[in-house]
């Protein structure tokens, strides 16, 4: 009985929050991004100083060659970006296909559309830019079903809210621990459509068999290699997706093929290619990566056998 009451309560709260997000999302764009976003940025930077020490410490460690004034400038721009992401997330409830299309451009010079025709494909992206907008890929791939892995949030209410905000046609958002099972069960297609597998592969990774070490932004860093394992097991092409900011809430999808699905590669080489692509993206415009996350919680124990799995060529 208690669990049923709790479920009803959570659903009511989620419905209320979704309605508030919808009301915010229908406000004029100039109000959301021209008034609300700068205000949120000011509060984060000047009033709350949200994770300022974490941001600056990680910037200093990642870019030791840059001056303190340069790093401070990146930090300030990051707060502006974080405010834009908050606005973008709240606006998702009021988004439809027409509005999503206006917020997204697709750069397909890499031959992405040709490669994916009639087959499944893996797309690796990151916490760079407004990653929620990566789901807009479904607008360009009517013959594919997008399946995306995510890590459930600790708060059940927020987890349910995000699930509703991410509820698109031809898009399945699947918890990471269930993802491989979901793919295997549907690898021959969903509703007659092939699959695009979307993975955010730069999340904090614990020391497990599903991770490998790579040198990244001046740190020994753990990365999930689930995308690589999926590609090798089922012979899938792999693309790196870079989200290029065009303006407030507007992004271009840039795709770079990093594996053709059949070539011979060394262990962890596909993930290494992804890491190098991501590093170049961040070095070009670092303010759009999630610096407020504690990225390097795990320090490698160079005496352990697990660390021996590390060395990819840099």
**Does the pLDDT value for residue 141 go beyond 60?**
yes
Give the mean pLDDT of 179-205: 91
**Does the pLDDT value for residue 273 go beyond 90?**
yes
Average pLDDT over all residues of the chain: 91
Give the confidence band of 203 by pLDDT, cuts at 50, 70, 90: confident
**Does the pLDDT value for residue 266 go beyond 60?**
yes
Give the confidence band of 239 by pLDDT, cuts at 50, 70, 90: very high
Find the range with the poorest average confidence among 54-68, 171-185, 204-218: 204-218
Where b means 16+ CB within 10 Å and e means fewer, 217-234 reads: bebebbbbbbbbebbbee
Q: What is the pLDDT of residue 102?
A: 92
Q: What share of the chain in percent tops pLDDT 70?
A: 94
Give the mean pLDDT of 257-280: 95
Q: What is the pLDDT of residue 311?
A: 47
Q: What is the pLDDT of residue 313?
A: 39
- Residue entry with tokens 């992401």: 85
**Does the pLDDT value for residue 277 go beyond 80?**
yes
Structure tokens, 263: 């070539």
Q: What is the pLDDT of residue 312?
A: 44
At 27-68, the pLDDT tens digits run 999 999 999 999 999 999 999 999 999 999 999 999 999 999
At 79-118, the pLDDT tens digits run 999 999 999 999 999 999 999 999 999 987 778 889 999 9
At 292-310, the pLDDT tens digits run 998 888 777 654 444 555 4
Q: What is the pLDDT of residue 113?
A: 87
Q: What is the 3-state secondary structure (H, E, C) of the chain?
A: CHHHHHHHHHHHHHHHHHHHHHHHHCCCHHHHHHHHHHHHHHHHHHHHCCCHHHHHHHHHHHCCCCCHHHHHHHHHHHHHHHHHHHHHHHHHHHCCHHHHHHCEEEECCCCHHHHHCCCCEEEEECCECCHHHHHHHHHCCCCEEEEEEECCCCCHHHHHHHHHHCCCCCEEEEEHHHHHHHHHHHCCCECCEEEEEEEECCCCCCCCCCEEEEEECCEEEEEECHHHHHHHHHCCCEEEEEEEEEECCEEEEEEEEEECCCCCCCCCHHHHHHHHHHHHHHHHCHHHECCCCCCCCCCCCCCCCHHHHHCCCC
| pTM to 2 decimal places | 0.91
Give the mean pLDDT of 154-172: 90
Q: What is the pLDDT of residue 209?
A: 66
Give the mean pLDDT of 249-272: 94
């Amino acid at each position: 009985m208690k669990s049923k009451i709790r479920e009803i309560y959570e659903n009511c709260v989620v419905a209320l929050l979704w309605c508030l997000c919808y009301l915010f999302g229908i406000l004029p764009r100039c109000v959301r991004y021209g008034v609300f976003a700068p205000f949120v940025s000011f509060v984060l930077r000047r009033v709350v100083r949200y994770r300022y020490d974490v941001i600056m410490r990680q910037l200093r460690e990642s870019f030791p060659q840059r001056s303190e004034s340069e790093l401070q400038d990146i930090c300030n721009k990051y707060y502006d970006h974080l405010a834009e992401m908050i606005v973008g997330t709240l606006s998702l409830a009021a988004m439809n296909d027409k509005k999503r299309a206006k917020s997204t451009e697709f750069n397909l010079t890499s031959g992405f559309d040709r490669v994916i025709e009639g087959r499944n494909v893996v797309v690796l992206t990151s916490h760079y830019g407004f990653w929620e907008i990566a789901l807009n890929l479904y607008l360009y791939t009517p013959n594919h079903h997008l399946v995306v892995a995510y890590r459930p949030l600790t708060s059940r209410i927020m987890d349910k809210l995000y699930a509703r905000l991410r509820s698109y046609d031809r898009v399945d958002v699947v918890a990471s621990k269930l993802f491989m099972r979901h793919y295997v069960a549907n690898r021959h297609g969903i509703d007659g459509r092939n699959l695009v597998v979307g993975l955010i592969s730069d999340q904090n990774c614990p020391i497990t068999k599903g991770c490998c070490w790579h040198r990244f932004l001046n740190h020994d860093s753990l990365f999930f290699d689930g995308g690589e394992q999926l590609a090798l097991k089922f012979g899938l092409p792999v693309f790196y997706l870079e989200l290029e900011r065009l303006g407030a809430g507007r992004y271009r999808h840039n795709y770079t093929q990093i594996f053709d699905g059949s070539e011979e590669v060394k262990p962890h080489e596909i993930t290494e290619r992804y890491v190098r692509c991501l590093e170049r993206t961040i070095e070009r415009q670092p303010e759009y990566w999630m610096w407020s996350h504690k990225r390097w919680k795990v320090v490698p124990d160079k005496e352990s056998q697990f660390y021996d799995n590390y060395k990819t060529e840099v």
